[in-house]
Amino acid sequence: MKRLAVYCGSASPEDPRYIQLASDVGAGLAERGIGVVYGGGRLGLMGATARGALEAGGEVIGIIPEALANSEVANHDCTELHTVGGMHERKQRFTDLSDGFITIPGGVGTMDELWEAMSWAQLGYHSNPVGLLNAFGFYDELIAFNRKMADVGFVRAAHQGILVHDTTLSGLLQQMESYSPHTPIFKMKAEDL
């Protein structure tokens, strides 16, 4: 994996562990020679991820929508900063530039990015690993909900391994490295659906 998209919040929670986690993820990827593709902002966990990677000598590519770039939240310290027309183009660029996706804590926008990466993998728009860093138990309920969707039958057996998760970056990256792409819906027969 040469580059990973990192999905995370643009907010700065009161609990300092979240900002530190983001900085550690950025640095940890850079130390492994993995570039960061992220939302291009300088605030919150996004900014901390970028700073952590840059301070560790890593590559950081920011993809920011024009409306946000014009509101002075863009991080001009990135190795590359691309301004795009909107959110759909932003997520397509994440997919085009990355060999996988890591989601760390965040809010609604982060969830939108995670679920779209999973959905696109399920359909067959990409075959890259989708990782969830469950630090501090932040995503316990989301992991349980994903399992419930599978148990009820809304996630096919062939797609239940799309989301990989761990509580540490090292463990998550190991799982992502060994990820075996599944059969996407686009290649399934009607009787398999």
Domain containing residue 147: CATH number: 3.40.50.450
Q: Do 60 and 54 touch, CB atoms closer than 8 A?
A: yes
In one letter, which amino acid is 15?
D
Helix ranges (H only) for 64-184 are 66-69, 87-97, 108-123, 140-152, 169-177
Contact status, residue 72 vs residue 50, Cβ threshold 8 Å: no
The Cα–Cα gap between 114 and 8 comes to: 9
Phi, psi of 115 (to 5 degrees): -65, -35
Q: What was the pLDDT predicted at 72?
A: 74
* Cα atoms in the 13 Å half-sphere on the side-chain side of 168: 3
CA gap 21, 27 in Å, rounded: 10
Name the burial class of residue 49, with classes exposed (0-12), middle (13-18) and buried (19+) by CB atoms within 10 angstroms of its CB. Answer: buried
Please report whether residue 172 resides in a domain: yes
* 115 located within any domain: yes
Number of domain units in the chain = 1
Q: Show Cβ contacts of residue 78 under 8 Å, excluding neighbours closer than 6 positions.
A: 40, 50, 54, 60, 61, 62
At 11 the pLDDT is 96
Residue 190 covered by a domain: no
Among the listed residues 69, 105, 103, 74, the one whose alpha carbon sits nearest the alpha carbon of residue 86? 69
Q: Angle, to 10 degrees, between the axis of helix 169-177 and the axis of helix 16-31?
A: 40
Rounded to the nearest 5 percent, the helix, strand and coil shares of the chain are 50, 15, 35
Residue with token string 């840059």 = 54
Within a domain: 193: no
Report yes or no on 26 lying in a domain.
Answer: yes
What is the pLDDT, as a whole number, of residue 106? Answer: 97
Within-domain flag for 74: yes
Walk along the chain (193 residues) in steps of 10 and give the mean pLDDT of each run.
97 97 98 98 97 98 92 92 95 97 97 96 95 98 97 93 97 97 83 71
Domain contains 147:
yes
Range of the domain at 67: 3-181
Does residue 188 fall inside a structural domain? no
Residue 71, pLDDT score:
80
What is the structure's pLDDT at 155?
93
